[in-house]
Amino acid sequence: MSSVSTSGSGAPKSSFSFGRIWDQYGMLVVFAVLFIACAIFVPNFATFINMKGLGLAISMSGMVACGMLFCLASGDFDLSVASVIACAGVTTAVVINLTESLWIGVA
């Protein structure tokens, strides 16, 4: 048999670490500070109509980000997503311009 020897003072270290808390909640704090600053200094920022407009404006980026999350989480780095989005946007604009039909351009 072998014996296991442990060394140390035996007292647990303090579990509070500002760096660890900042790593976990830093983005939330920055978001809250920016949101409060914009709500105070930008007129009509915290209205329903503006929040709806912001949601509609970032919805496509959010969907692409969710799709990229799965690629990155699986360890598969696919950097062609940005080029596909740019190409799809240009193609849609050209088709809408040539056919003057929004439905054909989106399809």
| Residue bearing the bigger pLDDT, 31 or 68 | 31
- How many Å apart are CA 40 and CA 43, to the nearest integer? 8
- Measured between alpha carbons, how far is 32 from 24 in angstroms, rounded to an integer? 14
Rounded CA separation 106/89 (Å): 10
Does the reported pTM lie above 0.95?
Answer: no
Task: Indicate if the pLDDT at residue 29 is higher than 80.
Answer: yes
d(CA 89, CA 95): 10
Q: How confident is the model at residue 36 (pLDDT cuts 50, 70, 90)?
A: very high
Burial class (CB in 10 A: 0-12, 13-18, 19+), 23: exposed
Q: What is the pLDDT of residues 43-75, one digit of tens each?
A: 999 899 999 998 888 888 888 888 888 878 888
